[in-house]
Chain A
Amino acid sequence: MSLHSIVLVKQVPDTSNISGDVMRPDGTVNRARLPAIFNPEDQEALELALRLKDEHGGTVTALTMGPPNAANMLRDCLYMGADRAILVSDRRFAAADTLATSYALHKAILHIGDYDLIFGGRQAIDGDTAQVGPQTAEKMNIPQITYTQEILNLDLKKRTIRARRAIKNGHEILEAPLPVLLTVIKGSAEPRPFEVRRLCTYKRAQSKFEIEATVDDSHDLVWMEELMERAKTQNLYIETWNIEDIDADVEMCGLAGSPTKVHKVENVVLSGSEFKQVPATAEGMNEMITELMQDHIFG
């Protein structure tokens, strides 16, 4: 059986460029004010999946839940080497918290069918929750390896994967049976560049929304169907699914399915605390190490 990896990806506002009016008074982010980018850890997750494909063959599916313009990021996935791109998009998914998001993703994965591995970034830079990956694994009822730094071994015969994951003060090596979900941390795999042949091919890949936008009133529905068919046969279709397509319960999606409410937002200014000079003597070093051990910083 050939390896099938699903990579959960998210298009996020580029929070490295936060300025004045980007934060709304209620503490949520006004996404329209920021350029949209490929969530960095998700891109590394895709890279890890593609490396496994390079080594073992198989296919990689990129899956996102997001607004129609997330198709841009899905094209990036195709440029890098993903075989299939799926956009789960529906107004009724809007304002989803991690619970509603993982619910929708799990329904979408069920709709995809068989898979061996699910990858995702540890967290998205707009929310920093690191919850969607673990919650999705729970809903799929499969094991998870979070904070993955490196895949050490994938044994397709025994159907196991061994990975190194970061923990406080070090790392540990875990082995899990397939299928398994892994979340990936920054620095684990520098994403590959766009392959230029794929770039020139898949720049034409379109979602249902984008195909719709090319159709004006003078065309009928049959024309739209034809365009969709053409895109599919040329392998240039970004599959676009709504709530009904993935058989999700409306009550569990979007705002309705999201118990999380933002209570308050505070500006936290990180500042350095007092500094202490350690004399460069054996005594000084001893003192410093003892102190660090007492503070449980190490030891």
Chain B
Amino acid sequence: MSNFFTENQDIQFQFNRIDLEKITRIREKDYTEAEKYPFAPRDYEDAKDNFRRILEVVGDIAGNFVAERAREVDELGSTFEDGKVTYARGLEEALERLNQAGLMGFILERKYGGLNLPISLYIFGIEMVSRGDASLMNLFGLQDISETIENYASDEIKEEFLPKFSSGEVTGAMVLTEPDAGSDLQAVKTRAYQDENGNWFLSGVKRFITNGNADVCLVLARSEEGTRDGRGLSLFVCYGDDTVQIRRIEHKLGIKGSPTCEMQFHDTPAKLIGSRKRGLIAYVMSLMNGARLGVAAQALGIAQAAYVEARRYASEREQFGKPILNFPAVAEMLIRMKVDLESSRTLIYDTAHAVDMHKISEMEMQRLQEAGESISDIREESKQWKAMADFLTPLSKFVISEKANRICYDAIQIHGGTGYMQEFNVERHFRDVRITNIYEGTSQLQVIAAIGGVIKGVADGIFDANEAREYRHEARQLANKLAKIRSLMNKCKDYVLEKDDKAYQELHSAELVEMYGSIYVGYILLDEAAEDSRKMLIAKKYIMDALATALHHTESITRGFDTLFADVEQILTRE
């Protein structure tokens, strides 16, 4: 029995640290919301108190209710019979519990029954829920769907659907993928067409749809006949009624509680979200960014669960007359896990903050526009936050999901043979985490999304400012190491750019993104170390390892074997 919020000191540290003052003031419309809603905060202190209380409720449900059911949910999974999907009982109960606590309208505005919380808070919530049960996150974390409706749909659609999401009356599904359109969503074939009265209908097959049995579906479909690319796609909302047939559900490696459906639309009545042709290029891109951050939080939550198991086991398990924690190889694994976890948390909450800042800058822009005031300053600010969020989101998803996989892998290693058995939770965490660097865009695609920010130097200003700062003692040495990583990174970047070979650039983007990201995270860790001396140890391990990795990458990029010149056929010719 534990509360995943109050009893996790690192989450507490990040929660106390995160600055949501401006974000909250703008979201609360200068705290005038409090005049209309008794549960709205009256000032920032009041808001932060609400945030803490709400996360305590989430932490309690995740730790004391959800986690207790997770193993059984994994064993039973979701089932499919006679065209109907049934959740595992524990998952159903957990959803009901979240509903009772009123947590399904996390980020929606209060006028639609929501809690109007910053995205940062939602990420804390997702991390904790995922630690309890990774597969529940796929339902709890689908709130981005209602956010997309809130952001882009007409008032009529918002009023029809959003209160139902907030009250937990409906769940949603994000219906994008098709058999021939996975990473490449431009290839979507599902057809959207209108009758003579202008009503829209959908027809086609979708695959790998999380919670495809949902009451409300957000569907990407081809509205422009004869087109073949992303510009012919629009976004629609429809009910999961009788015209939506679930054909089967997948049998998966992990997150078995979350049903993954193949579905067919038979002339399903639908409503257009926003404008035609903007479906993929505008709305889904924004939806995906939200979902990516959610998946990063999911990965982090699973990794936290695996770490806690491994940490406990290493203290309890004795071999050769002492706890295995006392063997340097085991201790090193745990230290690396812990440093990966804490640095991931640093990155994700910084990312969430940037996403929130971008969101409020857009809200401000709209407000000023409506008031007929100048928006030139805020537009510039908004552009900068957007660039930051667009870089940090795929970086988070890439870095955190990969690290989480390694953490779960090592958690089994620490358990030895017992960890391979189903009686121990690490086996489940290892299976659950595996999807996180695949869905909502593979790691390889996250790198492609993030590399632009590296080439443009989106955080260069921050690095320059930090290099000009006076760090003291240990922090100074570490800051010097970060500057060293930066010069190595620049050397690699220049080398790659000078080569003027797109394939080579693509091939080495991952290393560039990793190095650039580690400088970014490294500086924040130094700030954290100034607030909490224990964090200096985390910063030290993180930065020194990052430098070693950067040296490795530099050698590999500038002097390594360039496989682009190798004969692929010849290398891969033997089985």
CB distance from A83 to the nearest CB of B (A): 14
Q: Are B102 and A196 in contact (CB under 8 A)?
A: yes
* Chain B residues with CB under 8 A of A234: 38
Given A192-B100, A203-B49, A234-B38, answer yes or no on A197-B61 (Cβ-Cβ < 8 Å).
no
Residue B438 at the chain A interface, CB threshold 8 Å = no
Residue of B nearest to A234 (CB): B38
Residue B20 at the chain A interface, CB threshold 8 Å = no
Given A200-B39, A201-B38, A201-B39, answer yes or no on A195-B100 (Cβ-Cβ < 8 Å).
yes
CB distance from B97 to the nearest CB of A (A): 6
Q: Are A200 and B53 in contact (CB under 8 A)?
A: yes
Q: How far is the CA of A198 from the CA of B61 in the complex (A)?
A: 17
Q: Are B60 and A193 in contact (CB under 8 A)?
A: yes
Residue B142 at the chain A interface, CB threshold 8 Å = no
Q: Are B50 and A200 in contact (CB under 8 A)?
A: yes
Q: Are A196 and B61 in contact (CB under 8 A)?
A: no
Residue A209 at the chain B interface, CB threshold 8 Å = no
Residue of A nearest to B115 (CB): A196
Residue A288 at the chain B interface, CB threshold 8 Å = no
CB distance from A236 to the nearest CB of B (A): 8
Contact of A199 among B40, B41, B53, B61 (CB under 8 A): B53
- With most chain A CB atoms within 10 A of its CB, the pick from B39, B40, B53 is B39
Interface residues on B, range: 10 to 19
* Chain A residues with CB under 8 A of B57: 193-194, 196, 199
Q: Are A196 and B38 in contact (CB under 8 A)?
A: no
Q: Are B39 and A193 in contact (CB under 8 A)?
A: no
* Chain A residues with CB under 8 A of B102: 195-198
Q: Are A196 and B100 in contact (CB under 8 A)?
A: no
For B12-48 the 0/1 string (1 means CB < 8 A from A) is: 0000000000000000000000000011110000000
For B531-565 the 0/1 string (1 means CB < 8 A from A) is: 00000000000000000000000000000000000
The dominant DSSP class at the B interface is helix
Given A193-B57, A203-B49, A203-B53, answer yes or no on A198-B100 (Cβ-Cβ < 8 Å).
no
Q: How far is the CA of A234 from the CA of B102 in the complex (A)?
A: 22
Residue B445 at the chain A interface, CB threshold 8 Å = no
Residue B435 at the chain A interface, CB threshold 8 Å = no
Interface residues of A in 177-218 (CB under 8 A from B): 192-201, 203
CB distance from A249 to the nearest CB of B (A): 39
CB distance from B96 to the nearest CB of A (A): 10
* Chain B residues with CB under 8 A of A192: 97, 100-101
Residue of A nearest to B51 (CB): A200
* Chain A residues with CB under 8 A of B49: 203
- With most chain B CB atoms within 10 A of its CB, the pick from A194, A198, A234 is A194
* Chain B residues with CB under 8 A of A201: 38-39
* Chain B residues with CB under 8 A of A200: 39-41, 50, 53-54
Q: Are A196 and B60 in contact (CB under 8 A)?
A: no
* Chain B residues with CB under 8 A of A195: 100-102
Residue B103 at the chain A interface, CB threshold 8 Å = yes
Q: How far is the CA of A172 from the CA of B419 in the complex (A)?
A: 47
Q: Are A197 and B100 in contact (CB under 8 A)?
A: no
CB distance from A82 to the nearest CB of B (A): 15
Q: How far is the CA of A180 from the CA of B569 in the complex (A)?
A: 84
CB distance from A201 to the nearest CB of B (A): 4
* Chain A residues with CB under 8 A of B40: 200
Given A203-B49, A203-B53, answer yes or no on A196-B41 (Cβ-Cβ < 8 Å).
no
Q: Are A196 and B53 in contact (CB under 8 A)?
A: yes
Residue of B nearest to A203 (CB): B53
Q: How far is the CA of A214 from the CA of B57 in the complex (A)?
A: 28
Q: How far is the CA of A195 from the CA of B41 in the complex (A)?
A: 16
Q: How far is the CA of A215 from the CA of B101 in the complex (A)?
A: 34
Q: How far is the CA of A159 from the CA of B508 in the complex (A)?
A: 77
CB distance from B329 to the nearest CB of A (A): 39
CB distance from B106 to the nearest CB of A (A): 9
Q: Are A196 and B97 in contact (CB under 8 A)?
A: no
- With most chain B CB atoms within 10 A of its CB, the pick from A195, A197, A199 is A197
Q: How far is the CA of A50 from the CA of B209 in the complex (A)?
A: 37
* Chain B residues with CB under 8 A of A198: 39, 102
Q: How far is the CA of A192 from the CA of B41 in the complex (A)?
A: 24
Given A198-B39, A200-B39, A201-B38, answer yes or no on A193-B97 (Cβ-Cβ < 8 Å).
yes
Residue of B nearest to A235 (CB): B38
Q: How far is the CA of A234 from the CA of B39 in the complex (A)?
A: 12
- With most chain A CB atoms within 10 A of its CB, the pick from B38, B60, B65, B97 is B38
Residue of A nearest to B106 (CB): A196
Residue of A nearest to B97 (CB): A193
CB distance from A195 to the nearest CB of B (A): 5
Given A198-B39, A203-B49, A234-B38, answer yes or no on A193-B100 (Cβ-Cβ < 8 Å).
yes
Residue of A nearest to B110 (CB): A197
CB distance from B206 to the nearest CB of A (A): 34
CB distance from A186 to the nearest CB of B (A): 16
* Chain A residues with CB under 8 A of B103: 196
* Chain A residues with CB under 8 A of B41: 200
Q: How far is the CA of A196 from the CA of B114 in the complex (A)?
A: 11
Q: How far is the CA of A200 from the CA of B46 in the complex (A)?
A: 9
Given A193-B60, A234-B38, answer yes or no on A199-B54 (Cβ-Cβ < 8 Å).
yes
Q: How far is the CA of A198 from the CA of B102 in the complex (A)?
A: 9
Interface residues of B in 238-270 (CB under 8 A from A): none
Q: Are B39 and A197 in contact (CB under 8 A)?
A: yes
CB distance from B17 to the nearest CB of A (A): 22
Q: How far is the CA of A199 from the CA of B65 in the complex (A)?
A: 19
Q: How far is the CA of A194 from the CA of B39 in the complex (A)?
A: 13
Q: How far is the CA of A44 from the CA of B41 in the complex (A)?
A: 30
CB distance from B99 to the nearest CB of A (A): 10
* Chain A residues with CB under 8 A of B38: 201, 234
List B residues at the A interface (Cβ < 8 Å): 38-41, 49-50, 53-54, 57, 60-61, 65, 97, 100-103, 115
3 shortest interchain CB distances as A-B pairs: A200-B39, A193-B101, A197-B39
Q: What are 13 sample pairs from A and B whose C-beta atoms fall under 8 A apart? A: A192-B97, A192-B100, A193-B60, A193-B61, A193-B65, A193-B97, A196-B53, A197-B39, A199-B50, A200-B39, A200-B40, A200-B53, A201-B39
- Add 6 more A-B contacts to A196-B57, A199-B57 (CB < 8 A): A192-B100, A196-B54, A196-B102, A198-B39, A201-B39, A203-B49
